[in-house]
Amino acid sequence: MADTLLVIEDEDLLANELARHYRDSGWEVVHAADLGAAKRLLKEKSLDPLVVLSDMNLPDGNALDILEWARNHTIGGEWILLTAYGTIPDSVRALRLGAFEFLEKPCPVERLDLVVAGATRSARAQRRLHDQTAAHNRRYSPEAFVGSSSATSELRRMMHKLSSVPLTAIIITGETGTGKGLAARILHYSGVRAAAPMVEINCAALPAELLESELFGHEGGAFTGAKGRHRGLLEQANGGTIFLDEITELAPGLQAKLLKAIEDRRLRRVGGEREIEVDVQVLAASNRNLPNHVADGSFRADLYHRLSVFVLDVPPLRSRMDDLDALVPLFVDEFNVVADKCVRDIPDPAWNTLRGYHWPGNVRELRNAIERCVLLSDGERFPVEWLQLGQPTGAEGGPTTMSVDSGSLQLPVDGSLSLDDMEKMIIEKALDRTHGNVSSAARILGTTRQTLRYRIEKHHIEISD
> What is the reported pLDDT for 457?
84
Q: Is the pLDDT of residue 403 over 50?
A: no
b or e along 286-308 (b: 16 or more beta carbons within 10 Å of the residue's beta carbon)? bbbebeebbeeeebbeebbebbb
- Asked if 262 and 168 sit in the same domain, the reply is yes
Lowest mean pLDDT among 89-93, 115-119, 194-198, 366-370: 89-93
- Asked if 435 and 377 sit in the same domain, the reply is no
153 falls within a domain: yes
CATH assignment of the domain containing 246: 3.40.50.300
Give 224 or 192, the one with higher predicted confidence: 192
pTM of the model: 0.63
> What is the reported pLDDT for 410?
67
- Asked if 172 and 290 sit in the same domain, the reply is yes
- Asked if 299 and 164 sit in the same domain, the reply is yes
Indicate the burial class of 218 (C-beta count within 10 angstroms; 0-12, 13-18, 19 or more).
Answer: buried
- Asked if 181 and 270 sit in the same domain, the reply is yes
Contacts of residues 322-329 at CB distance under 8 Å and 24 or more positions apart, as own/partner, are 322/147, 322/148, 322/149, 322/150, 323/146, 323/147, 323/148, 323/149, 323/152, 324/351, 324/354, 324/355, 324/366, 325/148, 326/146, 326/147, 326/148, 327/146, 327/147, 327/363, 327/366, 328/354, 328/366, 328/370
> What is the reported pLDDT for 398?
42
Q: Is the pLDDT of residue 246 over 60?
A: yes
Return d(Cα 407, Cα 402) in angstroms, integer: 14
For residue 363, name the pLDDT band (cuts at 50, 70, 90): very high
- Asked if 255 and 185 sit in the same domain, the reply is yes
- Asked if 284 and 221 sit in the same domain, the reply is yes
441 falls within a domain: yes
- Asked if 236 and 322 sit in the same domain, the reply is no
- Asked if 108 and 25 sit in the same domain, the reply is yes
How many structural domains compose the chain?
A: 4
464 falls within a domain: no
- Asked if 370 and 237 sit in the same domain, the reply is no
Return d(Cα 380, Cα 92) in angstroms, integer: 67
Share of the chain above pLDDT 70, in %: 91
Select from 313, 347, 364 the last residue of a domain: 313
For residue 80, name the pLDDT band (cuts at 50, 70, 90): very high
Host domain of residue 48 = 4-136
- Asked if 148 and 297 sit in the same domain, the reply is yes
| Mean pLDDT, rounded, for 48-54 | 93
- Asked if 309 and 335 sit in the same domain, the reply is no
